[in-house]
Chains A and B, each alone.
Chain A
Amino acid sequence: MNTCQESVIHLMHAYLDGDISREEEQVLQKHLVECEHCREMMDELKMAALFLKDTAPVQAPEGFVSGVMARLPKEKSQAGFQRLLRRHPLVAAAALFLLLMSATLFSSYSNNQQFSFTKQPNLVVEGETVVVPAGEVVKGDIVVKNGNLRIEGEVDGNVTVIHGSKYMASTAVVTGKSEEIDQAFDWLWYKIKSTIKDIIPSSDGEQQEE
């Protein structure tokens, strides 16, 4: 009897796992009919399997899901920005660029409180007022910062006054554009425009040719 054990027990398990060929099953059945000991063992194994299968499924307790959700690590605020970077790298780059740009520009706006102006020949300075005297022709652009500009003569170019006022006498002639900048946003806009003009000088040149 002991001689049959090893191989037959293997067949029993194979049978219980549904992992047995037709021939093997016939060998097993034939043996079980003949051998009472093995038959008993087979029954016990079947019972053990049935016993296990008979278990009622256990349900997770109430509040299990919310418990899990509460245990999840909180999303970092950084994660949102990282996700933006990953998904829209161009938008993120543009946003970052604008942020840094405006920061430098604003700081230069507030730091630059000194009176200054473009040096041109025939300009007269009276205190903090730059004067284009009557009858004179200034060739070129004039930029006045933190001061006033009085035009009595002629300016053959653009006129820009930042943080100041501009007086035009009746005899005044300005051939180019004339601007007064008082607000931070105007300043920002002006700065961006002049930066672009520096970068792309061709458009400026074209205007001058006209």
Chain B
Amino acid sequence: MDELVNKRINQVIKGDQDAFEEIVTMFQHRLYHVCYRMLGNPQEAEDIAQEAFVRAYVNIHTYDQKRKFSTWLFRIATNLCIDRIRKKKPDYYLDATVPGTDGLNMYSQIAASGDLPEEEVERMEAQQRVQYEIGRLPEKYRTVIILRYMEELPLQDISDILELPLGTVKTRVHRGREALRKQMGTM
């Protein structure tokens, strides 16, 4: 995959815009997913994820092909998301759609194996709940938690993406997880 990506990138550098379309197609879901989790809003996520691709295209000559393209792309996207979050009112997440919490607890979610027709509904609520809980995390913990758990990236990759020392990333994952545990304990 990396080889194919680099081949396409070289075509883009030579001015072949169509080659970039393939790159967007390859990474669109992962990038959108991160933006969606960071921002918690489909419109904003689409806007920022698209903007991230545009920035990648414009600055493609600054990408070091010895490194992972996805890392570089995620760095652009997370920086854009963080900027967007910081520009917003700090109480934004309080206005976000608050999911119904009645009858929902995590144990039942984890135990449920997916046979019941209500399961579908409950599952949707669980997804909303996840988004809600992530949205309540401070932005610096939110970023590492999303990359660690939703993208399932190795800690070293997260350190490369955020340009933070590995130790700092570990600490933030710990604190984020701890914050999440406390948040959920009070529900």
Q: Given A49-B149, A53-B149, A59-B32, are A68 and B54 neighbors across the interface (CB < 8 Å)?
A: yes
State how many angstroms separate the Cβ of A43 from the closest Cβ of chain B.
10
Contact between chains at B46 and A64 (CB < 8 Å): yes
The answer, yes or no, to whether B82 is at the interface (CB within 8 Å) is: no
A16 to B178, CA, bound (A): 12
Size band of the B side of the interface? 35 or more
Determine if B164 is an interface residue (Cβ-Cβ < 8 Å).
no
* B79 beta carbon closer than 8 Å to chain A: no
The residue that B184 contacts in the complex, of A51, A73, A79, with Cβ under 8 A, is A51
Number of A residues, CB within 8 Å of B: 36
Residue A55 CB within 8 A of the other chain? yes
Judge whether B57 and A72 touch: CB under 8 Å.
yes
B140 at the interface (CB under 8 A from A): no
Q: Judge whether A4 is part of the interface by a CB distance below 8 angstroms.
A: no
Contacts of A65 in B (CB 8 A): 21, 24-25, 28
Inter-chain contact B29/A59, CB cutoff 8 Å: yes
- A52-78 vs B, Cβ < 8 Å mask (1 yes, 0 no): 111111111100110111011101000
Give the interface SS of chain A, mostly helix, strand, loop or mixed.
Answer: helix
Partner of A68, one of B33, B50, B152, B181: B50
A48 within 8 A of B: yes
**CB within 8 Å of A: which B9-48 residues:** 14-15, 17, 20-21, 24-25, 28-29, 31-33, 36-37, 42, 46
Known: A44-B181, A52-B149. A71 touches B54 (CB 8 A): yes
Residues of B within 8 A of A53 (CB): 149, 152
Q: How far is the CA of A44 from the CA of B170 in the complex (A)?
A: 19
B130–A48 CB distance below 8 A? no
- Enumerate B80-114 residues with CB–CB distance to A below 8 Å: 106-107, 109-110
Closest to B46 in A: A61
A10 to B178 Cα, complex, angstroms? 11
Task: Answer whether residue B53 sits at the interface, using C-beta atoms and an 8 A cutoff.
Answer: yes
Contact B15 A83 (CB under 8 A): yes
Compute how far the CA of A45 lies from the CA of B36 in the bound complex, rounded to whole angstroms: 24
Q: A60 touching B46 by the CB < 8 A rule?
A: yes
In the complex with contacts A48-B180, A75-B15, A56-B150 CB distance below 8 A: no
Contact B14 A83 (CB under 8 A): yes
A139 within 8 A of B: no
Task: Name the residue of chain A whose CB is nearest to the CB of B146.
Answer: A52
Interface assignment of A119: CB less than 8 Å from any CB of chain B = no
**A-B contact list, 7 entries, CB within 8 Å:** A47-B181, A48-B180, A51-B180, A54-B109, A61-B42, A68-B50, A72-B17
Residues of A within 8 A of B (CB): 9-10, 13, 16-17, 19, 41, 44-45, 47-61, 64-65, 67-69, 71-73, 75, 79-80, 83
Q: A10-B174, A49-B177 are in contact. List 18 more A-B contacts (CB 8 A).
A: A9-B178, A19-B155, A45-B178, A48-B184, A51-B133, A52-B180, A55-B150, A57-B33, A58-B32, A58-B33, A60-B28, A60-B29, A61-B46, A64-B24, A64-B32, A69-B17, A69-B21, A73-B58
